[in-house]
Amino acid sequence: MRRVFKNPNSEIVVQKIIYKKGSNKKLATILLKEQKSFCAYTEEYIGVNDAVDIEHFNPNIKYLKEDSYENWFMVKHKPNNLKTTNWIEPILYPIDENFENRLIYNDGYFLHNPEDTEAKNLIELLNLNDEIFVKNRKRFIQRRKERIAEKGISAFDYFTEKIENEIESLKYLRAIQEEFEIDIWNMIPELK
């Protein structure tokens, strides 16, 4: 999982868009655009046939005036349903400016410093180290390493080609960033 950047000049903030009961299509469209069509939790590409949710990271403030842009993320429906139903505090928010220093990626796992209860609770809340998730991240990275070696090109060139030709096959952006030492997020173009 990578840090999610929130734009202080987002259309959501500027237009004072709020989450309401009923349709939130405009809000969802803007959030998805800002996330470059990637799920905030799984870092998988969100395609046109994927079921998605506007996630209220802290569900306890949903529909309250404290619920705002910083609490809303676009996520795939199934992973959102797998999120632990018990809210845990204190917790590391996905927008924390030190997020990637506190939620440490290492060989498919997400780790935390022993004293960092907030990062530990985030890992638990989202079940980030579920055996299947870890195995899938590791296999994805291994396959990419094999393809890069087969093609005899740099990781940067490989992922540039993937972004241009089949962006929907990308996932695990943080793992890509750490394993290949490239800034994959900034390689992905902004959506129009």
What residue spans define the domains of the chain? Answer: 11-187
What sections of the chain are H helices per DSSP? 11-14, 25-34, 77-82, 99-102, 117-126, 131-151, 155-166, 173-180, 184-187
The answer to whether the beta carbons of residues 168 and 39 sit under 8 Å apart is no
Tokens, residue 6: 């929130």
Amino acid found at 96: D
pLDDT at 192: 80
pTM (2 d.p.): 0.94
pLDDT at 180: 98
Spell out, as residue ranges, where the chain has pLDDT lower than 50. Answer: none
pLDDT at 80: 82
pLDDT at 79: 81
